[in-house]
Structure 1
């Protein structure tokens, strides 16, 4: 089994994924980033996300691990044959992916905070999109320790290096930086 873990996140200037209520505000939605994100999901063998991460219209067609503390190891998701509930403390991600029928390939990590943090030591790539001039005080951070520590500092600490910024929406000065493990 050989997996490559790839993270995808869009964050506010202060490193937040959503506001204090867990809602993604319209100011954090960027069409070009959504297109980039969906292309990444289309290429992935499987997705990993928390139980509160937003479902996409294509979610039922994708192989997914939905992280939860509510079970011992893994459990089927009722009515969703391509999804499996997974407790990261109960069984390794590799074991859960194999149970899901995914033997290898790219695995997209799409949040939330604890899931993004769990994979910090394992990312091959982390695509971090920043939306300047948007702050979400008290919001949900991309990683544990944000905003005390910046997402970029945590990615560096985890052994990833930034690539060149790619403009996604020049009118809003939104770009994505793909951080890669050396």
Structure 2
């Protein structure tokens, strides 16, 4: 658990059959974008108090500029205002804890959405309350970027389970393409 009942840490990713979130060029291809999943993702981020992601991850949605965010980077010593985004902060985990960065961003409660990339997802493995794993099993991205460090030696599901998360019922987002999302949740202590 996050240590506070007023904060919820949730992860969000859509993956290919191999567990990849991007193609061999490091780009999320259109083949991995589905209307149902995009709608689910947008609605979740619209509820988020804070979004956390690496410098190469972003959601590129209509409300994106209005969302409060932490961008994980080595370009600052600890935490700094993002000169390119008045709603953004830059955070170097080597110089400040997540809780310090979150507090500096003014977030004391609500849902914190972790949206990638792989190393950012891994930083929160032991803190997620829920990880929303969307899967597009008919999409193949050979040689692509895996969603988590350790994939493909282990599946994303094995890695989530290894960190104490358990799957709940899958929600179908696009029946024609067999795309769905499984909430992986931490059992209450």
TM-score normalised by the chain length of structure 1 = 0.96
Q: Distance in 1 between matches of 2:58 and 2:51?
A: 12
1:4 deviates by 1.4
Deviations 1:10-60 (A, max 9, x none): 000100000121111121111100100011101111000001113423222
For residue 152 of structure 2, what is the aligned residue in structure 1? 147
For residue 100 of structure 1, what is the aligned residue in structure 2? 105
For residue 134 of structure 1, what is the aligned residue in structure 2? 139
Q: Distance in 2 between matches of 1:89 and 1:32?
A: 37
Q: Distance in 2 between matches of 1:25 and 1:45?
A: 28
Deviations 1:55-93 (A, max 9, x none): 423222011000011221011111422100001121111
Which of 49, 52, 56 is 1:52 aligned to? 56
Query: Does residue 162 in structure 1 map to residue 179 in structure 2?
Result: no
TM-score normalised by the chain length of structure 2 = 0.93
Aligned to 2:8, the other structure's residue is in SS state strand
Q: Distance in 2 between matches of 1:83 and 1:54?
A: 12
- Structure ranking higher in strand proportion: 1
Name which of structure 1's ranges 44-53 and 135-144 shifts more when overlaid on structure 2.
Answer: 135-144
Aligned CA RMSD, in angstroms, stands at 1.1
For residue 40 of structure 2, what is the aligned residue in structure 1? 36
Query: Does residue 13 in structure 1 map to residue 17 in structure 2?
Result: yes
Aligned to 1:80, the other structure's residue is in SS state coil
Moved runs in structure 1, 4+ residues, more than 4 A?
Answer: none
Cα 1:67–1:29 change in 2 (3 A) is same
Aligned residues: 182
For residue 120 of structure 2, what is the aligned residue in structure 1? 115
Cα 1:34–1:181 change in 2 (3 A) is same
Deviations 1:87-122 (A, max 9, x none): 112111111111111112210000011101111111
Query: Does residue 77 in structure 1 map to residue 82 in structure 2?
Result: yes
Aligned to 2:41, the other structure's residue is in SS state helix
Q: Distance in 2 between matches of 1:142 and 1:51?
A: 15
Consecutive unaligned residues of structure 2, counting only runs of 5 or more, are: none
